[in-house]
Amino acid sequence: MADLPVRLAALALLGAALCAAQPRGRILGGQEAQSRQWPYMASVQVNGTHVCGGFLVAEQWVLSAAHCLEDVPRPNETVKVLLGALSLSEPEPSKRLYDVLRAVPHPGSGPDTIDHDLLLLQLSENATLGPEVKLLPWQREDRDVAADTLCDVAGWGVVSHTGRRPDRLQHLLLRVMDRATCNLRRFHDGTVTKRMMCAESHRRRDTCKGDSGGPLVCNGVAEGVVTSGSRVCGDPKKPGIYTRVGSYTAWIDSVMDGGVASPGDPEGRGPEEQ
């Protein structure tokens, strides 16, 4: 029995290590968003449960991440989009739930890759715009955001190791990391493509899987979409990865205009991008 305190101490350390290694699925170290601060944010919901973020890019279109709905629709599963909300459960005059008429993942996306991780959701009708519901301008030029630029992200991902979900929208400021640095061996080891960008993760401040689909907003413009990755969130050695929307202008415009991406071009690019 003399070694019991030692065993208990070891178990406590092991438990702490496991918790530290599993902070997946939420914005870490964020703050509660204020009214009208994020009027373009969308909650993508399956059977009434929030699964991912998104943002309003046109009156009838929400942009999100393709992996959010990889397993949907299944029988009896319904996808809807909530707009004008800070709280997921409390009554708010601006809140409205919209049916999804069409879900269009990027043709190059898939369960085994984080490439082209974009999804467009067509609402059943135009969103009712107002002070709490607005369109978010998105980057239409295929250019990188300068390193060290401060950008904002938001989401309703879980906020504790026990899986507790916040009812109110959380947001966080993050600093853009140069792609060459992000691709160093000690970080993502060359996996970040020119169509992606990175933001620093440190001091347990980060986005994570539960916030997927939300926008990375730099200087009032959506530059990236939170994507997924096999990583421990909040780890300074694993910066957050985002899909650059400016690299997909032709595909986004084509889908919203009613076009179809060419099967021969898995990246869904227009003629000017090939």
pLDDT in tens, 61-81: 999 999 999 877 677 789 999
pLDDT in tens, 5-26: 444 333 333 333 333 333 333 3
Res 208: pLDDT: 54
Distant-in-sequence, close-in-space partners of 176: CB < 8 Å, separation ≥ 6: 145, 146, 147, 148, 149, 150, 151, 197, 198, 199, 200, 218
Rounded mean pLDDT, 228-238? 58
Q: Is 224 helix (H, G, I), strand (E, B) or coil?
A: strand
Structural domains present in the chain: 41-135+249-256 (2.40.10.10), 137-245 (2.40.10.10)
pLDDT at residue 109 tops 90: yes
Alpha-carbon distance 160 to 157, whole Å?
9
Alpha-carbon distance 196 to 241, whole Å?
7
Residue 244 identity (one-letter amino acid): R
Residues annotated as catalytic (active site), given as ranges: 67, 117, 212
Distant-in-sequence, close-in-space partners of 63: CB < 8 Å, separation ≥ 6: 54, 55, 57, 118, 119, 120, 121, 138, 213, 215, 222, 225, 245, 252
Q: Tokens in use for 157?
A: 């991902």
Alpha-carbon distance 42 to 214, whole Å?
8
Distant-in-sequence, close-in-space partners of 124: CB < 8 Å, separation ≥ 6: 98, 99, 100, 101
pLDDT bracket for residue 158 (50, 70, 90):
low
Q: How many other C-beta atoms are found inside a 10 Å radius of the C-beta of residue 3?
A: 8
Where residue 267 falls (left for φ over 0; alpha for ψ -120 to 50; beta otherwise) is: alpha
- Burial profile 125-141: b = 16 or more Cβ within 10 angstroms, e = fewer: eebeeeebbbebebbee
Distant-in-sequence, close-in-space partners of 127: CB < 8 Å, separation ≥ 6: 56, 59, 60, 83, 96, 98, 133
Q: Is 103:121 a contact under the CB 8 Å cutoff?
A: yes
pLDDT at residue 273 tops 60: no
pLDDT bracket for residue 161 (50, 70, 90):
low
In 45-196, where does DSSP find H-type helix?
A: 179-182
pLDDT at residue 272 tops 80: no
Residue 59 identity (one-letter amino acid): E
